[in-house]
């Protein structure tokens, strides 16, 4: 699980993603059935980053890659799903939804985030700029007595 901030850079019109925490997600099983998942601990990513930058990712599709785990996280090359969004009680989505409804809500939140990202990074430079006519400046001449 990742804890991250998405920051919109207005000067460049791009998003910067800052990963703050990383945690394993463990399935809680009862009689062989998964009943819940939990995160046993969190690691502060900025302090852990030097280790991630020195370890190489082994990818099944491409064994010639030279990516580190830091590259893998910062380039967002992983698959993910939404576990939690900001809410007043600071509860995960699983506290509100169960089963197929949880999966639908995760997909809905993800689609909403992607739409927001697309709307913020839309290229407005292709629209024609309005033509503004400059008015002639009039100079005031002092009256003669």
User: Cα(91)–Cα(107) distance, rounded to whole angstroms?
Assistant: 18
Share of the chain above pLDDT 70, in %: 78
Determine the distance from the C-alpha atom of residue 23 to the mean position of all C-alpha atoms in its chain, rounded to a whole number: 17
11 pLDDT higher than 80: yes
pLDDT of residue 41: 92
Here the tokens at position 4 are: 């991250």
pLDDT of residue 4: 81
Between 93 and 125, the more confident residue is 93
75 pLDDT higher than 60: yes
- Backbone dihedral angles phi then psi of residue 52, each to the nearest 5 degrees: -65, -35
54 pLDDT higher than 80: yes
126 pLDDT higher than 50: no
Instruction: Place 125 in a pLDDT band, splitting at 50, 70 and 90.
Output: very low
Spans of all domains in the chain: 1-80, 81-122
Instruction: Kindly report the pTM of this predicted structure.
Output: 0.56
pLDDT of residue 16: 79
- Is residue 48 packed enough to be buried (19+ CB in 10 Å), middle (13-18) or exposed (0-12)? middle
44 pLDDT higher than 90: yes
Strands (E), the chain: 2-9, 14-22, 26-30, 33-38, 43-44
Q: Out of 16-20, 93-97, 102-106, 125-129, which region has the weakest mean confidence (pLDDT)?
A: 125-129
107 pLDDT higher than 80: yes
């Amino acid at each position: 699980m990742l804890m991250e901030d998405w920051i919109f850079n207005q000067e460049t019109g791009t998003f910067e993603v800052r990963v703050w925490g990383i945690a394993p997600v463990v399935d809680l099983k009862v009689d062989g059935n998964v009943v819940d998942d939990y995160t046993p601990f969190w690691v502060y990513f900025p302090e852990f980053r030097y280790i991630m930058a020195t370890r190489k990712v082994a990818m099944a599709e491409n064994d010639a890659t030279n990516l580190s785990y830091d590259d893998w996280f910062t380039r967002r090359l992983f698959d993910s799903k939404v576990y939690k969004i900001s809410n007043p009680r600071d509860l995960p989505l699983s506290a509100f939804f169960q089963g197929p409804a949880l999966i639908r809500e995760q997909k809905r939140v993800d689609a909403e985030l992607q739409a927001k990202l697309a709307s913020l990074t839309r290229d407005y430079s292709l629209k024609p700029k309005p033509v503004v006519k400059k008015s002639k400046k009039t100079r005031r001449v002092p009256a003669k007595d």
